[in-house]
Amino acid sequence: MCARVYDCLKCIGERIIENREFLTDLDREIGDADHGVNMARGYAAVIEKVPRDNPDIGAVLKKTGMTLLSTVGGASGPLYGTAYMEAAKALAGKESLTKEDFGKALELAVAGVGKRGKSVRGEKTMLDALIPALDAYNRKIAEGGSLADGLDCACAAAKEGVEHTKSIAATKGRASYLGERSIGHQDPGATSAMITLEAIRDFIRE
């Protein structure tokens, strides 16, 4: 399991790196044009520094969060770093992962992002992808769905959330300076959150 957790993180990192230019282009429209570059740098460090052989999933995620916090610039580093470090609390000491474990980890990650960013759904941030994803995941699991089924629903909801960011004005971060002019543009943070969930889903489906 420990190697699979590392391999999943590597899969996320590779997907973010593949989408570096896309994420940067999105950020160029409403931000500092550095989201993709910063995230790619952070995940390159994760792939390099996070131990492959640590059986404690929580410890691996905590190290991932600390690495992103120290290497990703702008607001994304603290937000993604917090997400992983909060998720780690649900998985501390665990050497295997259940669908319930994943749901709790995602719940703590989302709450951590909201607290750290002082944000809520509807403000054109990554929460516009993450909160619908969490809700959809929980509904599917409550219906008796598997981890993979839950992730399918989470990814579909995240995608809808990303689309919704095009229709709302930003009220947080650099994008908030544009006000109503940010409408029509897709939020890069919500997009990278969606890409992250899709990478996890695809890894689980392998």
Residues in the chain: 206
- What is the pLDDT, as a whole number, of residue 172? 63
CATH number at residue 121: 1.25.40.340
Instruction: Give the Cα separation of 12 and 35 in Å (integer).
Output: 15
Write out pLDDT tens, residues 131-175: 999 999 999 999 999 999 999 999 999 999 999 999 998 886 766
Is the pLDDT reported for residue 1 higher than 60?
Answer: no
Q: State the virtual CA torsion across 121, 15, 105, 73 in degrees, nearest 10.
A: -70
Domains identified in the chain, total number: 1
- What is the pLDDT, as a whole number, of residue 75? 85
118: left (phi over 0), alpha (psi -120 to 50) or beta: left
Write out pLDDT tens, residues 8-42: 999 999 999 999 999 999 999 888 889 999 999 99
Instruction: Give the Cα separation of 97 and 124 in Å (integer).
Output: 31
Write out pLDDT tens, residues 102-123: 999 999 999 999 999 999 999 9
- What is the pLDDT, as a whole number, of residue 45? 97
Write out pLDDT tens, residues 44-78: 999 999 989 899 999 999 999 999 999 997 889 99
Which residue segment(s) compose the domain that 164 sits in?
Answer: 2-205
Q: Determine the distance from the C-alpha atom of residue 36 to the mean position of all C-alpha atoms in its chain, rounded to a whole number.
A: 13
Is the pLDDT reported for residue 176 higher than 80?
Answer: no
Is the pLDDT reported for residue 2 higher than 80?
Answer: no
- What is the pLDDT, as a whole number, of residue 31? 81
Answer whether 73's CB lies under 8 Å from 38's CB: yes
Answer whether 10's CB lies under 8 Å from 47's CB: yes
pTM over 0.75: yes
Is the pLDDT reported for residue 189 higher than 80?
Answer: yes
